Chains A and B, each alone.
Chain A
Amino acid sequence: MNLFVQAFAWIFDGSHWVSGPNIWQRLGETLWVSGISVLISVVIAVPIGVAIGHTGRGRSAAILISNAARALPTLGLLSLLILLMGIGVLPPVIVLVILGIPPTLAGAYAGVEAVDRQTIDAARALGMTEWQIITRVELPLAANLLVGGIRATALQTVATLTVASYFAFGGLGLYLVNGLAQADYVQMLAGAVLVTALALLVDGAFAIVQRLVVPRGVARGRVDPDGPQKRARAPRPRALQEGMQS
Protein backbone atom coordinates (compact mmCIF):
# COMPACT_ATOMS: atom_id res chain seq x y z
CA MET A 1 0.00 0.00 0.00
CA ASN A 2 3.00 2.25 0.53
CA LEU A 3 3.27 2.38 -3.23
CA PHE A 4 -0.08 4.13 -3.30
CA VAL A 5 1.22 6.82 -0.94
CA GLN A 6 4.20 7.32 -3.21
CA ALA A 7 1.96 7.41 -6.27
CA PHE A 8 -0.16 10.15 -4.75
CA ALA A 9 2.97 12.01 -3.74
CA TRP A 10 4.08 11.70 -7.36
CA ILE A 11 0.79 13.09 -8.62
CA PHE A 12 0.83 16.00 -6.18
CA ASP A 13 4.46 16.78 -6.91
CA GLY A 14 4.10 20.21 -8.48
CA SER A 15 6.93 19.65 -10.94
CA HIS A 16 4.91 16.97 -12.72
CA TRP A 17 2.30 19.59 -13.52
CA VAL A 18 4.52 22.34 -14.90
CA SER A 19 7.81 21.36 -16.45
CA GLY A 20 8.41 19.42 -19.65
CA PRO A 21 5.65 17.20 -21.02
CA ASN A 22 3.51 17.56 -17.92
CA ILE A 23 0.26 16.13 -16.63
CA TRP A 24 -1.81 19.05 -18.01
CA GLN A 25 -0.41 18.40 -21.45
CA ARG A 26 -1.11 14.67 -21.25
CA LEU A 27 -4.59 15.38 -19.96
CA GLY A 28 -5.11 17.81 -22.82
CA GLU A 29 -4.09 15.15 -25.37
CA THR A 30 -6.46 12.64 -23.83
CA LEU A 31 -9.38 15.07 -23.67
CA TRP A 32 -8.81 16.43 -27.16
CA VAL A 33 -8.64 13.06 -28.89
CA SER A 34 -11.47 11.52 -26.85
CA GLY A 35 -13.60 14.61 -27.37
CA ILE A 36 -13.19 14.51 -31.14
CA SER A 37 -13.83 10.76 -31.23
CA VAL A 38 -16.95 10.95 -29.08
CA LEU A 39 -18.23 13.82 -31.19
CA ILE A 40 -17.78 11.88 -34.44
CA SER A 41 -19.38 8.77 -32.92
CA VAL A 42 -22.36 10.83 -31.77
CA VAL A 43 -22.76 12.58 -35.11
CA ILE A 44 -22.81 9.21 -36.89
CA ALA A 45 -24.72 7.14 -34.35
CA VAL A 46 -27.51 9.42 -33.18
CA PRO A 47 -29.26 9.96 -36.54
CA ILE A 48 -29.04 6.25 -37.36
CA GLY A 49 -30.22 5.25 -33.89
CA VAL A 50 -33.12 7.70 -33.97
CA ALA A 51 -34.09 6.47 -37.43
CA ILE A 52 -34.07 2.87 -36.22
CA GLY A 53 -36.09 3.74 -33.14
CA HIS A 54 -38.56 5.86 -35.07
CA THR A 55 -39.19 3.43 -37.91
CA GLY A 56 -38.57 0.22 -36.01
CA ARG A 57 -36.53 -1.04 -38.95
CA GLY A 58 -32.95 -2.28 -38.95
CA ARG A 59 -32.96 -3.13 -35.28
CA SER A 60 -31.67 -6.66 -35.58
CA ALA A 61 -28.87 -5.46 -37.84
CA ALA A 62 -27.95 -2.84 -35.25
CA ILE A 63 -27.91 -5.46 -32.47
CA LEU A 64 -25.80 -7.79 -34.57
CA ILE A 65 -23.26 -5.10 -35.36
CA SER A 66 -23.13 -3.91 -31.75
CA ASN A 67 -22.46 -7.42 -30.51
CA ALA A 68 -19.79 -8.03 -33.11
CA ALA A 69 -18.09 -4.73 -32.24
CA ARG A 70 -17.99 -5.82 -28.62
CA ALA A 71 -15.84 -8.79 -29.58
CA LEU A 72 -13.32 -6.73 -31.52
CA PRO A 73 -10.09 -6.45 -29.55
CA THR A 74 -9.17 -2.78 -29.32
CA LEU A 75 -5.50 -3.48 -28.94
CA GLY A 76 -5.45 -5.55 -32.14
CA LEU A 77 -7.40 -3.03 -34.15
CA LEU A 78 -5.13 -0.24 -32.97
CA SER A 79 -1.91 -2.04 -33.75
CA LEU A 80 -3.18 -3.05 -37.18
CA LEU A 81 -4.29 0.47 -38.08
CA ILE A 82 -1.07 2.00 -36.82
CA LEU A 83 0.94 -0.42 -38.93
CA LEU A 84 -1.15 0.41 -41.96
CA MET A 85 -1.42 4.17 -41.46
CA GLY A 86 1.56 5.10 -39.35
CA ILE A 87 1.71 6.61 -35.88
CA GLY A 88 -0.53 9.61 -35.46
CA VAL A 89 -3.87 10.79 -34.19
CA LEU A 90 -5.88 9.18 -36.97
CA PRO A 91 -5.60 5.46 -36.05
CA PRO A 92 -6.78 5.93 -32.44
CA VAL A 93 -9.59 8.21 -33.57
CA ILE A 94 -10.79 5.66 -36.15
CA VAL A 95 -10.72 2.83 -33.61
CA LEU A 96 -12.43 4.94 -30.97
CA VAL A 97 -15.17 5.93 -33.41
CA ILE A 98 -15.73 2.34 -34.54
CA LEU A 99 -16.02 1.16 -30.95
CA GLY A 100 -17.83 4.29 -29.82
CA ILE A 101 -20.74 4.07 -32.23
CA PRO A 102 -22.56 0.99 -30.82
CA PRO A 103 -23.31 2.29 -27.29
CA THR A 104 -24.64 5.64 -28.53
CA LEU A 105 -26.58 3.93 -31.31
CA ALA A 106 -28.13 1.55 -28.81
CA GLY A 107 -28.97 4.38 -26.43
CA ALA A 108 -30.58 6.37 -29.24
CA TYR A 109 -32.75 3.61 -30.62
CA ALA A 110 -33.64 2.17 -27.24
CA GLY A 111 -34.63 5.64 -26.06
CA VAL A 112 -36.77 6.46 -29.06
CA GLU A 113 -38.28 3.02 -29.17
CA ALA A 114 -39.24 3.22 -25.52
CA VAL A 115 -41.49 6.21 -26.10
CA ASP A 116 -45.08 5.20 -25.47
CA ARG A 117 -46.88 4.46 -28.76
CA GLN A 118 -49.94 6.31 -27.51
CA THR A 119 -47.91 9.45 -26.95
CA ILE A 120 -46.70 9.33 -30.54
CA ASP A 121 -50.20 8.65 -31.84
CA ALA A 122 -51.45 11.60 -29.83
CA ALA A 123 -48.74 13.81 -31.33
CA ARG A 124 -49.69 12.62 -34.79
CA ALA A 125 -53.37 13.24 -34.09
CA LEU A 126 -52.47 16.80 -33.09
CA GLY A 127 -51.17 17.27 -36.61
CA MET A 128 -47.43 17.12 -35.93
CA THR A 129 -45.24 16.18 -38.87
CA GLU A 130 -42.90 13.19 -38.54
CA TRP A 131 -40.01 15.60 -38.07
CA GLN A 132 -41.85 17.42 -35.29
CA ILE A 133 -42.68 14.11 -33.64
CA ILE A 134 -39.01 13.19 -33.66
CA THR A 135 -37.64 16.50 -32.44
CA ARG A 136 -40.38 17.58 -30.03
CA VAL A 137 -41.71 14.30 -28.68
CA GLU A 138 -39.34 11.42 -29.18
CA LEU A 139 -36.00 13.11 -28.62
CA PRO A 140 -36.93 14.85 -25.34
CA LEU A 141 -38.43 11.64 -24.00
CA ALA A 142 -35.47 9.61 -25.24
CA ALA A 143 -32.91 12.07 -23.89
CA ASN A 144 -32.15 10.14 -20.73
CA LEU A 145 -31.30 6.89 -22.50
CA LEU A 146 -29.63 8.72 -25.36
CA VAL A 147 -27.28 10.53 -23.00
CA GLY A 148 -26.79 7.21 -21.20
CA GLY A 149 -25.53 5.81 -24.48
CA ILE A 150 -23.19 8.74 -25.04
CA ARG A 151 -22.01 8.29 -21.46
CA ALA A 152 -21.03 4.69 -22.21
CA THR A 153 -19.31 5.80 -25.39
CA ALA A 154 -17.36 8.52 -23.59
CA LEU A 155 -16.30 6.20 -20.79
CA GLN A 156 -15.15 3.58 -23.20
CA THR A 157 -13.33 6.14 -25.30
CA VAL A 158 -11.34 7.49 -22.36
CA ALA A 159 -10.49 3.96 -21.25
CA THR A 160 -9.49 2.79 -24.71
CA LEU A 161 -7.30 5.79 -25.24
CA THR A 162 -5.24 4.62 -22.28
CA VAL A 163 -4.42 1.49 -24.23
CA ALA A 164 -3.42 3.65 -27.19
CA SER A 165 -0.61 5.11 -25.09
CA TYR A 166 1.17 1.81 -25.61
CA PHE A 167 1.38 2.64 -29.31
CA ALA A 168 3.29 5.85 -28.87
CA PHE A 169 0.21 7.99 -28.54
CA GLY A 170 0.67 10.46 -25.65
CA GLY A 171 -2.17 10.90 -23.23
CA LEU A 172 -2.44 10.19 -19.53
CA GLY A 173 -1.95 6.49 -20.16
CA LEU A 174 1.64 7.23 -21.10
CA TYR A 175 2.65 7.47 -17.43
CA LEU A 176 1.23 4.02 -16.86
CA VAL A 177 2.85 2.51 -19.94
CA ASN A 178 6.22 4.21 -19.40
CA GLY A 179 6.22 3.35 -15.71
CA LEU A 180 5.57 -0.25 -16.62
CA ALA A 181 8.31 -0.31 -19.25
CA GLN A 182 10.87 1.28 -16.91
CA ALA A 183 9.73 -0.77 -13.91
CA ASP A 184 9.04 2.60 -12.26
CA TYR A 185 6.02 1.36 -10.36
CA VAL A 186 5.36 4.68 -8.66
CA GLN A 187 4.92 6.41 -11.99
CA MET A 188 2.93 3.45 -13.30
CA LEU A 189 0.57 3.57 -10.35
CA ALA A 190 0.27 7.34 -10.56
CA GLY A 191 -0.75 6.89 -14.20
CA ALA A 192 -3.31 4.26 -13.24
CA VAL A 193 -4.74 6.55 -10.57
CA LEU A 194 -4.90 9.49 -13.01
CA VAL A 195 -6.72 7.56 -15.75
CA THR A 196 -9.12 6.06 -13.24
CA ALA A 197 -9.86 9.49 -11.78
CA LEU A 198 -10.48 10.88 -15.26
CA ALA A 199 -12.80 7.99 -16.15
CA LEU A 200 -14.77 8.46 -12.93
CA LEU A 201 -15.03 12.23 -13.53
CA VAL A 202 -16.24 11.75 -17.10
CA ASP A 203 -18.75 9.14 -15.99
CA GLY A 204 -19.95 11.35 -13.14
CA ALA A 205 -20.32 14.39 -15.40
CA PHE A 206 -22.44 12.44 -17.84
CA ALA A 207 -24.50 10.99 -15.00
CA ILE A 208 -25.40 14.55 -14.02
CA VAL A 209 -26.20 15.52 -17.61
CA GLN A 210 -28.33 12.40 -17.87
CA ARG A 211 -30.45 13.60 -14.97
CA LEU A 212 -30.66 17.14 -16.25
CA VAL A 213 -31.98 16.21 -19.70
CA VAL A 214 -35.07 14.47 -18.40
CA PRO A 215 -37.97 16.78 -19.24
CA ARG A 216 -39.99 18.08 -16.32
CA GLY A 217 -43.12 16.09 -15.86
CA VAL A 218 -41.68 12.79 -16.97
CA ALA A 219 -42.25 10.02 -14.47
CA ARG A 220 -39.69 10.08 -11.74
CA GLY A 221 -39.17 6.34 -12.13
CA ARG A 222 -37.35 7.12 -15.34
CA VAL A 223 -34.93 9.37 -13.54
CA ASP A 224 -34.12 7.28 -10.52
CA PRO A 225 -31.91 4.46 -11.79
CA ASP A 226 -32.91 2.15 -8.98
CA GLY A 227 -36.44 3.34 -8.44
CA PRO A 228 -39.15 0.76 -7.84
CA GLN A 229 -40.90 1.39 -11.15
CA LYS A 230 -37.68 0.66 -12.91
CA ARG A 231 -37.25 -2.67 -11.27
CA ALA A 232 -40.52 -3.96 -12.53
CA ARG A 233 -39.50 -3.24 -16.08
CA ALA A 234 -37.07 -4.80 -18.47
CA PRO A 235 -33.34 -4.63 -17.70
CA ARG A 236 -31.87 -1.26 -18.24
CA PRO A 237 -30.52 -0.76 -21.72
CA ARG A 238 -27.30 0.33 -20.14
CA ALA A 239 -26.64 -3.34 -19.75
CA LEU A 240 -26.24 -3.68 -23.47
CA GLN A 241 -23.75 -0.88 -23.50
CA GLU A 242 -21.65 -2.54 -20.90
CA GLY A 243 -18.94 -5.00 -21.52
CA MET A 244 -17.40 -3.00 -24.26
CA GLN A 245 -14.76 -1.23 -22.35
CA SER A 246 -11.11 -1.55 -23.00
Chain B
Amino acid sequence: MNWVWIGSNLDLIWGRILEHLALSAPPIVIGFLLSIPLGYWASRSKTARSVLLTLGGILYTIPSIALLVLVPVTLGFAILNPLNVVLALTVYAVAIMVRSAADAFSSTSRDVLSSATAIGFSRAQRFFQVELPLAGPVLLAGLRVVSVSTVSLVSVGSVIGVDSLGSFFTDAFQRQFPTEAIVGIVAILLIAALFDVILVLIGRVLLPWNRTRRAAPARAYLRPVGSS
Protein backbone atom coordinates (compact mmCIF):
# COMPACT_ATOMS: atom_id res chain seq x y z
CA MET B 1 0.00 0.00 0.00
CA ASN B 2 1.59 3.22 -1.16
CA TRP B 3 0.08 6.08 0.84
CA VAL B 4 2.30 8.67 -0.79
CA TRP B 5 0.77 7.82 -4.17
CA ILE B 6 -2.71 8.28 -2.73
CA GLY B 7 -1.75 11.58 -1.18
CA SER B 8 -0.29 12.97 -4.36
CA ASN B 9 -3.10 11.69 -6.60
CA LEU B 10 -6.16 12.85 -4.72
CA ASP B 11 -7.27 14.92 -7.71
CA LEU B 12 -7.08 11.91 -10.00
CA ILE B 13 -8.99 9.75 -7.51
CA TRP B 14 -11.67 12.39 -7.06
CA GLY B 15 -11.99 12.77 -10.82
CA ARG B 16 -12.44 9.03 -11.28
CA ILE B 17 -15.01 8.99 -8.48
CA LEU B 18 -16.99 11.68 -10.30
CA GLU B 19 -16.71 9.76 -13.58
CA HIS B 20 -17.89 6.66 -11.80
CA LEU B 21 -20.88 8.48 -10.31
CA ALA B 22 -21.77 9.97 -13.68
CA LEU B 23 -21.77 6.52 -15.29
CA SER B 24 -23.57 4.64 -12.52
CA ALA B 25 -26.37 6.99 -11.48
CA PRO B 26 -28.16 7.30 -14.87
CA PRO B 27 -28.63 3.53 -15.44
CA ILE B 28 -30.08 3.13 -11.95
CA VAL B 29 -32.54 6.00 -12.38
CA ILE B 30 -33.48 5.25 -16.01
CA GLY B 31 -33.72 1.52 -15.32
CA PHE B 32 -36.05 2.18 -12.41
CA LEU B 33 -38.27 4.56 -14.37
CA LEU B 34 -38.51 2.18 -17.35
CA SER B 35 -39.24 -0.84 -15.23
CA ILE B 36 -42.29 0.73 -13.54
CA PRO B 37 -44.53 0.78 -16.65
CA LEU B 38 -43.04 -2.49 -17.91
CA GLY B 39 -43.47 -4.20 -14.56
CA TYR B 40 -47.02 -2.87 -14.27
CA TRP B 41 -47.81 -4.18 -17.72
CA ALA B 42 -46.30 -7.55 -16.78
CA SER B 43 -48.46 -7.68 -13.67
CA ARG B 44 -51.62 -7.09 -15.72
CA SER B 45 -51.08 -9.41 -18.65
CA LYS B 46 -49.86 -12.96 -18.48
CA THR B 47 -48.46 -12.81 -22.00
CA ALA B 48 -46.62 -9.58 -21.30
CA ARG B 49 -45.26 -11.11 -18.13
CA SER B 50 -43.78 -14.16 -19.78
CA VAL B 51 -42.43 -12.20 -22.76
CA LEU B 52 -40.85 -9.46 -20.61
CA LEU B 53 -39.41 -11.79 -18.00
CA THR B 54 -38.02 -14.18 -20.58
CA LEU B 55 -36.47 -11.31 -22.51
CA GLY B 56 -35.08 -9.86 -19.28
CA GLY B 57 -33.62 -13.25 -18.38
CA ILE B 58 -31.90 -13.55 -21.75
CA LEU B 59 -30.51 -10.01 -21.69
CA TYR B 60 -29.33 -10.56 -18.16
CA THR B 61 -27.49 -13.68 -19.26
CA ILE B 62 -25.25 -11.76 -21.67
CA PRO B 63 -21.87 -11.25 -19.98
CA SER B 64 -21.29 -7.57 -19.25
CA ILE B 65 -18.15 -7.25 -21.30
CA ALA B 66 -19.93 -8.77 -24.31
CA LEU B 67 -22.90 -6.46 -23.87
CA LEU B 68 -20.51 -3.51 -23.68
CA VAL B 69 -19.28 -4.22 -27.19
CA LEU B 70 -22.61 -5.45 -28.57
CA VAL B 71 -24.33 -2.16 -27.72
CA PRO B 72 -22.09 0.10 -29.85
CA VAL B 73 -21.99 -2.35 -32.76
CA THR B 74 -25.77 -2.69 -32.77
CA LEU B 75 -26.44 1.03 -32.43
CA GLY B 76 -23.51 2.24 -34.50
CA PHE B 77 -21.78 4.16 -31.70
CA ALA B 78 -18.04 4.53 -31.31
CA ILE B 79 -16.58 1.89 -29.01
CA LEU B 80 -15.19 4.50 -26.62
CA ASN B 81 -18.45 6.37 -26.24
CA PRO B 82 -19.32 6.43 -22.50
CA LEU B 83 -22.96 6.17 -23.53
CA ASN B 84 -22.32 2.49 -24.27
CA VAL B 85 -21.69 1.82 -20.61
CA VAL B 86 -24.79 3.74 -19.56
CA LEU B 87 -26.94 1.90 -22.11
CA ALA B 88 -25.56 -1.56 -21.33
CA LEU B 89 -26.05 -1.06 -17.60
CA THR B 90 -29.52 0.32 -18.17
CA VAL B 91 -30.34 -2.91 -20.00
CA TYR B 92 -29.20 -4.92 -16.96
CA ALA B 93 -31.02 -2.62 -14.57
CA VAL B 94 -34.28 -3.07 -16.48
CA ALA B 95 -33.72 -6.82 -16.78
CA ILE B 96 -33.40 -7.16 -13.00
CA MET B 97 -35.91 -4.50 -12.06
CA VAL B 98 -38.80 -5.62 -14.28
CA ARG B 99 -39.08 -8.83 -12.30
CA SER B 100 -39.17 -6.94 -9.01
CA ALA B 101 -41.69 -4.48 -10.37
CA ALA B 102 -43.89 -7.24 -11.78
CA ASP B 103 -43.80 -9.05 -8.44
CA ALA B 104 -44.44 -5.81 -6.58
CA PHE B 105 -47.52 -4.90 -8.60
CA SER B 106 -48.82 -8.48 -8.68
CA SER B 107 -48.85 -8.65 -4.91
CA THR B 108 -51.44 -5.89 -4.49
CA SER B 109 -54.62 -7.53 -3.30
CA ARG B 110 -57.66 -7.47 -5.59
CA ASP B 111 -59.84 -6.27 -2.71
CA VAL B 112 -57.73 -3.19 -2.22
CA LEU B 113 -57.95 -2.35 -5.91
CA SER B 114 -61.71 -2.90 -5.96
CA SER B 115 -62.11 -0.70 -2.87
CA ALA B 116 -60.16 2.08 -4.52
CA THR B 117 -62.33 1.85 -7.62
CA ALA B 118 -65.48 1.68 -5.49
CA ILE B 119 -64.72 4.92 -3.67
CA GLY B 120 -64.30 6.65 -7.01
CA PHE B 121 -60.59 6.61 -7.80
CA SER B 122 -59.79 7.01 -11.47
CA ARG B 123 -57.31 4.55 -12.97
CA ALA B 124 -54.53 7.11 -12.70
CA GLN B 125 -55.40 8.00 -9.12
CA ARG B 126 -55.58 4.37 -8.23
CA PHE B 127 -52.17 3.74 -9.72
CA PHE B 128 -50.38 6.69 -8.13
CA GLN B 129 -52.17 6.72 -4.79
CA VAL B 130 -52.72 3.03 -4.15
CA GLU B 131 -50.75 0.64 -6.32
CA LEU B 132 -47.46 2.50 -6.53
CA PRO B 133 -47.18 3.17 -2.77
CA LEU B 134 -48.11 -0.43 -1.97
CA ALA B 135 -45.52 -1.70 -4.42
CA GLY B 136 -42.97 0.66 -2.85
CA PRO B 137 -41.16 -1.67 -0.45
CA VAL B 138 -40.60 -4.41 -3.03
CA LEU B 139 -39.58 -1.83 -5.66
CA LEU B 140 -37.12 -0.37 -3.19
CA ALA B 141 -35.62 -3.78 -2.45
CA GLY B 142 -35.17 -4.41 -6.17
CA LEU B 143 -33.70 -0.98 -6.69
CA ARG B 144 -31.12 -1.59 -3.98
CA VAL B 145 -29.96 -4.72 -5.78
CA VAL B 146 -29.77 -2.82 -9.06
CA SER B 147 -27.86 0.03 -7.45
CA VAL B 148 -25.19 -2.12 -5.85
CA SER B 149 -24.58 -4.22 -8.94
CA THR B 150 -24.54 -1.22 -11.28
CA VAL B 151 -21.94 0.60 -9.22
CA SER B 152 -19.75 -2.48 -9.30
CA LEU B 153 -20.31 -3.19 -13.01
CA VAL B 154 -19.39 0.29 -14.22
CA SER B 155 -15.79 -0.65 -13.61
CA VAL B 156 -15.91 -3.25 -16.40
CA GLY B 157 -16.27 -0.35 -18.81
CA SER B 158 -12.60 0.41 -18.27
CA VAL B 159 -11.75 -2.74 -20.24
CA ILE B 160 -13.28 -1.16 -23.33
CA GLY B 161 -11.59 2.13 -22.47
CA VAL B 162 -14.32 4.11 -20.76
CA ASP B 163 -12.75 5.76 -17.70
CA SER B 164 -14.17 5.23 -14.23
CA LEU B 165 -12.79 3.90 -10.96
CA GLY B 166 -12.35 0.70 -12.97
CA SER B 167 -9.46 2.36 -14.79
CA PHE B 168 -7.52 1.97 -11.55
CA PHE B 169 -7.87 -1.79 -11.97
CA THR B 170 -6.56 -1.89 -15.53
CA ASP B 171 -3.82 0.63 -14.65
CA ALA B 172 -2.85 -1.34 -11.56
CA PHE B 173 -2.43 -4.45 -13.68
CA GLN B 174 -0.45 -2.75 -16.42
CA ARG B 175 1.81 -0.86 -14.03
CA GLN B 176 2.12 -3.68 -11.49
CA PHE B 177 0.88 -1.31 -8.81
CA PRO B 178 -1.57 -2.89 -6.30
CA THR B 179 -2.29 0.37 -4.47
CA GLU B 180 -4.40 1.57 -7.36
CA ALA B 181 -6.49 -1.60 -7.32
CA ILE B 182 -7.10 -1.26 -3.58
CA VAL B 183 -8.07 2.41 -3.94
CA GLY B 184 -10.53 1.47 -6.69
CA ILE B 185 -12.10 -1.37 -4.72
CA VAL B 186 -12.51 0.72 -1.57
CA ALA B 187 -13.94 3.67 -3.49
CA ILE B 188 -16.45 1.44 -5.29
CA LEU B 189 -17.57 -0.19 -2.05
CA LEU B 190 -18.00 3.27 -0.50
CA ILE B 191 -20.06 4.51 -3.45
CA ALA B 192 -22.21 1.37 -3.33
CA ALA B 193 -22.77 1.91 0.40
CA LEU B 194 -23.52 5.60 -0.14
CA PHE B 195 -26.11 4.84 -2.84
CA ASP B 196 -27.66 2.21 -0.61
CA VAL B 197 -27.94 4.62 2.31
CA ILE B 198 -29.50 7.24 0.03
CA LEU B 199 -32.05 4.73 -1.25
CA VAL B 200 -32.93 3.58 2.24
CA LEU B 201 -33.37 7.21 3.35
CA ILE B 202 -35.55 7.98 0.33
CA GLY B 203 -37.55 4.89 1.27
CA ARG B 204 -38.00 6.14 4.83
CA VAL B 205 -39.31 9.46 3.60
CA LEU B 206 -41.56 8.13 0.84
CA LEU B 207 -42.70 4.97 2.58
CA PRO B 208 -43.08 6.01 6.23
CA TRP B 209 -45.45 3.12 7.01
CA ASN B 210 -42.63 0.79 6.20
CA ARG B 211 -40.48 2.20 8.96
CA THR B 212 -41.81 0.04 11.74
CA ARG B 213 -40.36 -2.94 9.96
CA ARG B 214 -37.07 -1.30 9.21
CA ALA B 215 -35.35 -4.32 7.74
CA ALA B 216 -38.51 -5.41 5.99
CA PRO B 217 -37.84 -4.47 2.37
CA ALA B 218 -34.66 -6.45 2.03
CA ARG B 219 -36.00 -9.27 4.12
CA ALA B 220 -39.27 -9.46 2.27
CA TYR B 221 -37.29 -9.67 -0.87
CA LEU B 222 -35.09 -12.44 0.40
CA ARG B 223 -37.91 -14.37 1.94
CA PRO B 224 -38.02 -17.69 0.17
CA VAL B 225 -40.97 -18.89 -1.83
CA GLY B 226 -43.64 -20.39 0.33
CA SER B 227 -42.75 -18.94 3.68
CA SER B 228 -44.71 -15.76 3.26
Contacts and interface: CB of A to CB of B under 8 A. Distances in A.
Contacts of A84: 178
Contacts of B96: 239, 242-243
B152 A111 contact: no
Nearest to A159: B63
Contacts, number: 214
B157 to A, nearest CB: 9
Contacts of A233: 225-226, 228
A191 B173 CA distance: 22
Interface string A214-241: 0000000010011000111111111110
A180 interface: yes
A244 interface: yes
A70 B147 CA distance: 10
Interface in A192-217: 192-193, 195-196, 199-200, 203
A113 B219 CA distance: 14
Given A70-B149, A71-B189, A192 B66 contact: yes
B155 A189 contact: no
B142 A180 contact: no
A173 B152 contact: no
A76 B169 contact: yes
Contact of A71 (B103, B182, B192, B225): B192
Contact of B53 (A76, A191, A226): A226
A76 B61 contact: no
Contacts of B165: 73
Contact of A177 (B149, B159, B219, B223): B159
A146 to B, nearest CB: 11
B168 interface: yes
Nearest to B70: A192
Q: Main SS of the interface on chain A?
A: helix
Contacts of A245: 60, 63-64, 92, 149, 153
Interface string B166-179: 10111011001110
> What's the interface size class on B, roughly?
35 or more
Contacts of B92: 243, 245
A243 B169 contact: no
A79 interface: yes
Given A76-B184, A234-B227, A70 B152 contact: yes
Given A176-B65, A200-B61, A239-B99, 5 more contacts: A68-B189, A75-B166, A76-B168, A155-B61, A166-B65
Interface of A: 1, 3-4, 63, 67-68, 70-80, 82-84, 106, 109-111, 113-116, 145, 155, 158-160, 162-163, 166-167, 173, 176-177, 180, 185, 188-189, 191-193, 195-196, 199-200, 203, 222, 225-226, 230-240, 242-246
27 contacts: A4-B73, A67-B218, A70-B149, A73-B169, A74-B152, A75-B169, A76-B181, A76-B188, A77-B185, A79-B169, A80-B172, A80-B178, A82-B173, A114-B224, A116-B226, A163-B156, A180-B79, A188-B69, A189-B69, A189-B70, A192-B69, A196-B63, A235-B103, A242-B99, A243-B92, A245-B149, A245-B153
